Structure 1
Amino acid sequence: MTLTASCGLEIPLRIEINPRARRLILRLDEKKREAVAVAPSRRHVRDAARFAAERIDWAATRLRSLPPQVSLTDGGLIRLRGEDCRITLDGEGRRARLIEGEPFMLSLPGDPETIARRAERYLKSAAREDLAAAVEDYCDVLGVAVRRVTIKDTRSRWGSCTSDGRLAFSWRLIMAPPDVLEYVAAHECAHLLEMNHSPRFWAHVARCRPHWKKERAWLRKHGASLHAVAA
């Protein structure tokens, strides 16, 4: 289903059924660039569609404020560890290779139809390597142990920590400046000591990242640009 805002922008609408929802909800899926209407049950689907139509101008305003989407295609320009990086099919052999320069070049020789999947695989691998190293460093600083580190493509969180010591991170952090990735790693390691955001928790973060406020501010300001990369 597609709705048209008063500005003329056509917006795809997805309707989801969530029995835990107590009311109709309209949210925005920034990665897919579509509106999502949430209904408590199937009998509320029409109400959800009407609810979304009445508020589609809000969704249009939000969508127009988002940074342009970037595709993982031949010639596409992304950020890697905070620096410009251009994706290219040029290169020898079949292995992905990062070539230094201005900008960096991510060489992904092979089938053009699979370049997006291969670029995402490279970025996830790089994120896993950088985050694992950062987690190891901050676990040493805080005197804690982590059970497992996983890489995901989360929508609402850059990182998470479970009570049994499992940490998860968004692979998109590899596109941010290294200090920002390091802050998120320190943040989740601090949760191994405090599963809250109390003053004691932030004191642990500060032990690892004295300038964490600046690094968190960067993520809040530019995080949408990381989600604008279409995997």
Structure 2
Amino acid sequence: MLPGLGWPVELRVHPRARSLRLRLDEARGVLALTCPRRTSRRAALDWAAGQGGWVEAQLARIAPAEPFAAGTAIPFEGAEIMLHWEEALPRGPALTEGRLQCGGSAQSFSGRVERFLRREARDRLSKLTRQIAHDAGLSVRSVAVGDASSRWGSCSSSGAIRYNWRLVLAPLHLSRWVVAHEVAHLRHMNHGPAFKALEAELYGADPRPARAELRALGPRLKRVGRPL
């Protein structure tokens, strides 16, 4: 913690950073401070401590968390659906007629909703990934989901792809772009011209508008399901 800053600072040295950079990581509740290799830790923290006005303005813009509560709406594949609970309903969540409903204990409602959404994300993104990879003549070793704070997807050199489960909340064309991006990494483990050409081919359009749209929508998606 630094005086005058509302959130803790997490300092990371990055070998390619050319200047100090402070970013508000809303999902993790920290101020991420990126520091060039040859900048002293003390100098970096002193600089961050002087950014109180900027931090205060950023915190003021943050909307409150949106926990999974009965009677509220959440996005699902870009459309708003209602969360509905009745004790007498089956415990397993079911998506029907624009609402996600389940029964059982009210105290475990939030957890059951999140587990359902994670399963849906894994199943839907796995299917889409394998379809796009097959069309491109590429092989995927595995597909998994998590809740990374800053990345929507990642691809390892072994062919394992991992997504943020919150993509299931986003419009389908945004999920398709992220899948196309990660599948393109199966062939090109970089962001060079050949990668960008394959990414656009697999997505079927210019990826730049989708990238900008997801960047704008991302903060809201990452608030969904967070406790107050």
TM-score range, shorter chain: 0.7 to 0.9
Matches within 5 A, 1:70-219: 70-90=66-86, 92-100=89-97, 104-211=98-205, 212-219=207-214
The AA in structure 2 aligned to 1:217 is: A
Distance 1:36 1:142 in 2: 37
User: Greater CA deviation, 21-30 or 164-173?
Assistant: 21-30
TM-fit CA distance, 1:92: 1.5
Distance 1:51 1:214 in 2: 34
Distance 2:27 2:68 in 1: 14
TM-fit CA distance, 1:113: 2.0
Percent of residue pairs bearing the same amino acid type: 31
**Are the counterparts in 2 of residues 15 and 38 from structure 1 also a CA contact under 8 Å?**
no
Q: Which sections of structure 2, spanning at least 5 residues, go unmatched?
A: none
Helix, strand or coil: the match of 2:132?
helix
Distance 1:89 1:221 in 2: 31
Distance 2:200 2:48 in 1: 43
**Are the counterparts in 2 of residues 142 and 204 from structure 1 also a CA contact under 8 Å?**
no
**Are the counterparts in 1 of residues 94 and 101 from structure 2 also a CA contact under 8 Å?**
yes
Helix, strand or coil: the match of 1:79?
strand
The AA in structure 1 aligned to 2:222 is: H
Distance 1:229 1:3 in 2: 30
**Are the counterparts in 2 of residues 72 and 230 from structure 1 also a CA contact under 8 Å?**
yes
Q: CA RMSD in A?
A: 3.0
Tell me the TM-score normalised to structure 2 length: 0.82
Helix, strand or coil: the match of 1:71?
coil
2:55 is the alignment partner of 1:59: yes
Distance 1:143 1:164 in 2: 16
May I ask how many residue pairs the two structures share in their alignment? 219
